[in-house]
Every structure is written in C-alpha cells, then in structure tokens.
Structure 1
Amino acid sequence: MHPVSIHMLTICGIEELPGHRDRAVSHVLSIIDPDWPDPEAFTAYDPHHRTLLRFHDIIDPLPGQVMPRRDHVEAVLQFGEDLARSRDERTEGHLLVHCHMGISRSTAAMTMLMAQAQPEESEDALFAHLAEIRPQAWPNSVMIAFADDMLGRKGRLTEALRRHYGRRVRQEPGFAEAMRRLGRAREVEMAVES
C-alpha cells in the first residue's frame, strides 16, 4: 500500500516532534487545541508544507470547546487532494500528522487521508495499516463519521472503526477505562468483537 502518494507516513504527539526534525519531513498536518501555542519544534525542520487546524479532541459538545466539524474534515481532505496534486513535483515525501498525543485526531486524519488516496482499499486494511504506523491509535469517531460520509464509504469506515476499537480494547484492557475517564465512553461502547 502506498497511501497519500507519499513515501513515508508518521503520526506523533507534540512531545515527539523534535525527534522527527532530521527525518526529511516534506508535509505536515498539525491538529491542536484552539488555545494551544504553535509548537516551536517546526522552526528546526527543513522547509516543508504545513497545514494547521485547531479544534478539541472531543466527541460530544462541551462548554468552551470546539467540536470536530465537517469543515475541519473537509480541510483534511483538501490537504490530501493538494498532496496528491503535488505528486509529480517530488520523487519522495514524508508526511507527518500530529495532534497533542498522536492518538485520536491525528490517527483519524491519517485514516481519512489513506482512505481518500486508496478508494479501492478495504476499510479493515486501512485500519490495519494505521495500527502498523501508530499502534496506540484510537481515531476520533466524529471525524471518521464525517469522512465516511464525504468519501462515500457508506458506513463501512465507521464499522471498521468499531472493529479497530474492539482490537484495541482486547490488546490493552486498561485503555478502555482511560478513554472512559476522558469522556470517550461512547467510543468504548462502539467496540465490537472482530
């Protein structure tokens, strides 16, 4: 699988950004909280194309927080379209997608970019590849639901996400409780046996 027309894919959290500065990152998708300062790590990176989105990692409305919205997912998919159009301008490329922890918003974004670039790829194969890139992935279900609709996956992406959640819960049972404490119980309940 060669998703998003690029040579290397990386997902990480903010604290990991300095460790990727010497890895020839050509494209960055940053997803951070609206009030969070822009990470300084990028000043040490070689020149690269970067898109910055700001919204919170929540799945239900909370006072003072910005829910992931359809226009945020549209921006991620536009980033993917721009990446595909620039394919002929490079021989290789390294896409880095990050959020605060590299677990939810960034993994949802990477999943939708892979789904966009590989429309013939099965949804379960996309999540398997995601788990290879970032084993601790727990994609934001709101973002995936928007992408599922926008990419014409007809609910299959969301169903594959449920199976992905199920695998994560079985691999690391304590993770489910941590997600519940973070207000993500609805996602834990989505988990199904696969």
Structure 2
Amino acid sequence: MKSLAISTLTICGIDELVLQSTRKVTHVLSVLDPDLPEIEAFGTYGEHSRVTLRFHDIIDPATGKIVPQAAHVADILRFGESLKQSASGRVEGHLLVHCHMGISRSTAAMLSLLAQVNPDESEDGLFERLRAVRPQAWPNSLMIGFADEQLGRQGRLVAALRRHYGHQIKADPKFVDWMEHLGRRRELEMAA
C-alpha cells in the first residue's frame, strides 16, 4: 500500500488491540457487532483517524442480526479512497483493521483495500499478501463478493477466495470444525 503512504498493515482482534497501542497506528478501520460498546483500548493510542462500521459476521440473514451489505463494502472502499486522498500529507502510516477476532470481517476489509489499491495485482497474489499480514485469515465471503463486484474484478476475487479457503483448510484443518460451528458451511463448500 505504498501508494497510500501506508507502510505498515495490521489485522487483529479486539483482545489484541492493547498490544498495538505502542506501534504508532495512524489509521484504524473497526468492524464491530452493532451492540458492542465503544472499545476502551483506543484511549491508549496516540493521534489517529478511525472509522467504525457495525454489522455482524454472518453470511446468511438471521433474526436480530445485520448481515454484511454492499453498502458496508462501499464504506470500506470510501475509507480506502480517503487514505489515498490524504497520502500527500504523510511520509508513512500504519493501518490497523480489526473486528472481533481478526479473522473474517477484518480480513475481508483488508483484502478489499488491497484489491482497490492494487488493481493490476493478481487475485491470488492479493490473498498471499493477506496471509502474510494475518495467517489465520478467513474472509467473509459475502463481503468479498461485494468487493469483487464493486471493484470490477468479474468474479476473480471470489474464485481466488475459493482457493484461499482450500489453502487455509490444508494449512489448519481446525477451520472445518470452526466454520461448521459458526454456521458457515457454505464457505467450506466453496473451498477448492
């Protein structure tokens, strides 16, 4: 993300936020459940810009839950555009994207930002970069589908997501039980 003057990328969960406070984070994208209270850890951070989005980490509609929408991904991409527009005012930056566990919504958001900034990079290359930042990445498939469409990737991001899921299952078979438990069987079936 050098074109955005962002030299450091971090993805984490809420319980890891306190560990990031000494790392000079300049920009934060928080993706949280709608009913979660404000996170106190940010009070220990230095000056930074933060955007918060609120929806649940689900892929199918559920009573009382807010499923990720195309508008949420559009908000993520607007955040990416704001980073680009503010790049001339900084030498370097540290972007932290987090959700509850740092595995699904946050990794989908980061992949969307990487794809936005690097329109000519291969989709598989983008997922390799994502795994380098967060090895346990399991991006929310609904969010990746919206990003694919909004970025004009013509299904290539979704196809690469299938390969990514297959890679992750081979690297750590516990994903199968975990995603089954979370009701994400459809994503397991996507794995190539």
For the aligned pair, the TM-score class normalised by the smaller chain equals: over 0.9
- Verify: 1:57 aligned to 2:57, yes or no: yes
Question: What are the equivalent positions in structure 2 for 1:125-140 lying under 5 Å apart?
Answer: 125-140=125-140
Q: Does the aligned pair in 2 maintain the 1:25–1:95 contact within 8 Å?
A: yes
The aligned counterpart of 1:107 is 107
1:38 CA displacement: 1.2
1:175 CA displacement: 1.4
Measure, in 2, the Cα distance between the counterparts of 1:60 and 1:107. Answer: 18
Deviations 1:138-181 (A, max 9, x none): 00000000000000000000000000000001111121111111
Q: How many residues align?
A: 192
Identity of counterpart residues, as a percentage? 59
Q: Does the aligned pair in 2 maintain the 1:3–1:114 contact within 8 Å?
A: no
Measure, in 1, the Cα distance between the counterparts of 2:18 and 2:24. Answer: 12
The aligned counterpart of 2:176 is 176
1:2 CA displacement: 3.7
The aligned counterpart of 1:157 is 157
Deviations 1:96-150 (A, max 9, x none): 0000000000000000000000001100000000000000000000000000000
Q: TM-score, normalised by structure 1?
A: 0.97
Q: Give ranges in structure 1 of 5+ residues lacking alignment.
A: none
The aligned counterpart of 1:93 is 93
The 3 A distance-change label for structure 1 pair 185 and 174 is same
SS at the partner of 2:86? helix
The 3 A distance-change label for structure 1 pair 145 and 5 is farther
Q: Does the aligned pair in 1 maintain the 2:112–2:144 contact within 8 Å?
A: yes
The 3 A distance-change label for structure 1 pair 140 and 80 is same
Question: What are the equivalent positions in structure 2 for 1:37-52 lying under 5 Å apart?
Answer: 37-52=37-52
Q: TM-score, normalised by structure 2?
A: 0.98
The aligned counterpart of 2:29 is 29
Q: Which runs of 4+ in 1 moved over 3 A?
A: 1-5
Deviations 1:10-64 (A, max 9, x none): 0000000000001000000000000001110001100100000000000000100
Q: Does the aligned pair in 2 maintain the 1:108–1:140 contact within 8 Å?
A: yes
Q: Does the aligned pair in 1 maintain the 2:26–2:49 contact within 8 Å?
A: yes
Measure, in 2, the Cα distance between the counterparts of 1:110 and 1:140. Answer: 11
Q: Does the aligned pair in 1 maintain the 2:25–2:96 contact within 8 Å?
A: yes
Measure, in 2, the Cα distance between the counterparts of 1:163 and 1:3. Answer: 27
Q: Give ranges in structure 2 of 5+ residues lacking alignment.
A: none
The 3 A distance-change label for structure 1 pair 3 and 162 is farther
The amino acid of 1:120's aligned partner reads: D
Measure, in 2, the Cα distance between the counterparts of 1:91 and 1:166. Answer: 38
The aligned counterpart of 1:18 is 18
The amino acid of 1:11's aligned partner reads: I
1:5 CA displacement: 4.0
SS at the partner of 1:25? coil
